Amino acid sequence: MRTTTLAWLVAGILGGLPLASQAQEASMSTDTDPYLWLEEVEGERALDWVKQRNSESEAVLERAPGFEALRSDLQAILDSDAKIPYVTERGGWYYNFWQDAEHKRGLWRRTTPASYRTQNPEWEVLIDVDALNAAEGEDWVWHGADCLKPDYDRCLIALSHGGSDADVTREFRISTRSWVEDGFQRPAAKGGLTWIDEDRVYVYTDFGDGSMTESGYPRIVKEWTRGTPMSAARTVYEGRTEDMYIAALHDDTTGFERDFVSRTIAFYNDELYLRADDGGLEKIDVPNSAAKGVHKQWLTVEPREDWEVGGTTYRAGSLLAIDFDAFMSGARDFEVLFAPDTRSSLAGTAWTRNHLILNVLEDVKNRLYVLTPAEDGSWARAPLAGAPEIGTVSVDAVDDEESDDYFMTVTDFLHPTALYYGTVGGTAEKLKETPAFFDGEGMAMTQHFATSADGTKVPYFMVAPKGFEADGSNPTLLYGYGGFEISLTPSYSGSVGRGWLSQGGVYVVANIRGGGEYGPRWHQAALKANRNKAYEDFAAVARDLVARKVTSPEHLGIQGGSNGGLLMGNMTVMYPELFGAVVCQVPLLDMKRYNKLLAGASWMAEYGNPDTDDWAFLKQYSPYQNVAKDVDYPPVFFTTSTRDDRVHPGHARKMMARMSEQGHDVTYWENIEGGHGGAADNAQRARMQALAYTFLRQRLFPQD
């Protein structure tokens, strides 16, 4: 990546404490929670409990009629050779990571652009992860590759045990297809290595006692020289223990080589520093809450609150640009490249050699625009020629230094995902398309708006059979997330199609507050004490579905994971009368202790700090504390992963134990591997999905 933003960092900092420390942390707690022992992730007693719960759920779900056929079909979809092999361009080659039935842990491979355009590209395998596991007796899961410009021969390969966020880094040479003896290697921990040049890297990792933040991430970044031990690496920057994550990055854009240090204090609160040749650091003087990007001569800023600077106030959610060197010299005359309104927000950007492509959400539908800078500092704006009018659309540059070419991905709920190749100013050509994994011809996708408790209009998408009878009897699955400014847009899923839609179910995705569908304001409306807004929005969508007679509570199921799992927990506890079944995946549920478990401390900017007066509102949104014996809750299926070192599996375990003790209808399944995604390979993913769909079918569909 040659555009310097904090997005590259945030994608990798949702991890937690090393597994080895979890049992110790739980044992030191003075909490009187009777199920605290279930936080001992790999404790013998806890794992025996997990195995017993798994056995019970498997007896009910895996022996159900149709389960094995569904699981087999879902795995065939996930393993399909006809899926689109998405690629990254490096040095004239297209690189891809691929998993299928034969290669469960995957292949890292490459092909030429010309071959990629053919129906059956000729791939050159670089690393076979399954073969590596067999040779080393390991359970590696691929975490990515960072290859050194300009020849891209030396690569830093990240691998994790069983899918955990903690990983190792090892140096690999493409020309010899071998690991570099005495090359750069980083032991398992949260953090990473990034190239400076052939003989130097930035390393941010666990250096020993005191080197990690309270959230379990690197607190120190160092410059490490080849041929020396990591212990001899020179400190570049040292953050505070209460910070979230410290890292560094070398921008290798030709003619604009720069080095940056990032200090992430909390979500939506970070600092970016320019590192001089002598090691000195100069802060880029924009608000900590703003997203910051540097590309060639440009600094871009996306303020999350209104920002007054240079005598002008810029609206939250805008995209601003200025010459980087001029800004560092004191200039503040930003050009406004995008300004939001009540219906629109900025979904993303992509730089090509001469242009900037804006991806804008207008009522949760993508619109693409091309911006072109002129010598006088102005920017011309035009729609991206050939972009479709419907569907979810994303754009990525093929090579932002060498061309104005781009990849465009187009998808929606009913039409298989397609990959296009285009050049700014021309028409995009379809290169690849996912096969149809289910028959969507008789179905229709529509958008609706529900009215929340405070009058806010909340959009949601619905997929249903054309001309279905609105008699309240349609089995309906409502999905939601509502957090961390993440937008949910229509996308093609063979698993949803096979597991739910083709069975006659209605599928709904809710765009509730807490997400990013309408920019920072939509997210900030449901932060901390206002978390109830997300839950009220979700309940409003459920009620709207019932009012429109799409379904009824006994036929309405809900599903969500991670922050969406917290959503599921609160909908269960706060609105039990609205739902007939709940699938709660890798969830947060104990909001009294969440900040003490794994990465929980890093999310306090989203939820609040339960060790302060914030507990006054947090306790209202903590399902584990609010579940009661004398309430009739809908049946709940909890799923999690032992190897999830992001959201602690203790959340799901303890909620299952408490609700079971109270006599509620609860089912539990925990994957021994998988990390926060719940699965380490396609077989595990298919099994997990089949369990969930079988549970929903048993609870929501009419039974013979």
Catalytic residues: 562, 676
Among residues 104, 158, 157, which one has the least CA distance to residue 131?
Answer: 104
Compute the residue count for the chain. Answer: 704
CA–CA separation, 73 and 78 (whole Å): 9
- Beta strand 581-585 with 379-383 is unpaired
Cα distances (Å, whole numbers) of residue 78 to 101, 102, 201, 684: 8, 12, 36, 10
Please give the structure tokens belonging to residue 184.
């750069």
Cβ count near 330 (within 10 Å): 8
Output DSSP code: residue 555.
G
Q: Are strands 269-275 and 258-266 parallel, antiparallel or unpaired?
A: antiparallel
DSSP 376-415: TS-EEEEEPTT--SSSEEEEEES-TTT-SEEEEEEE-SSS
Other CB atoms within 10 Å distance of the CB of residue 276: 11
Which two three-digit tokens encode residue 696? 């929903």
- Main-chain dihedrals φ then ψ at residue 677, nearest 5 degrees: -75, -10
Count CB atoms within 10 A of the CB of residue 113. 15
In whole angstroms, give the CA distance from residue 466 to residue 468.
Answer: 6
Pair of tokens at residue 73: 């079909």
Angular region, 185: left φ>0, alpha ψ -120 to 50, beta rest: beta
List Cβ neighbours of 670 (8 Å cut-off, separation of 6 or more).
50, 53, 54, 639, 640, 641, 642, 649, 652, 653
Q: If we measure between CA atoms, which residue out of 63, 107, 72, 111 comes closest to residue 88? A: 111
Q: Which two tokens stand for residue 174?
A: 């493409």
Q: What is the DSSP string of 102-119?
A: S-SS-EEEEE-HHHHTSS
Beta bridge pairs of residue 242: none
Q: CA angle at residue 470 from 467 to 473, to 5 degrees?
A: 120
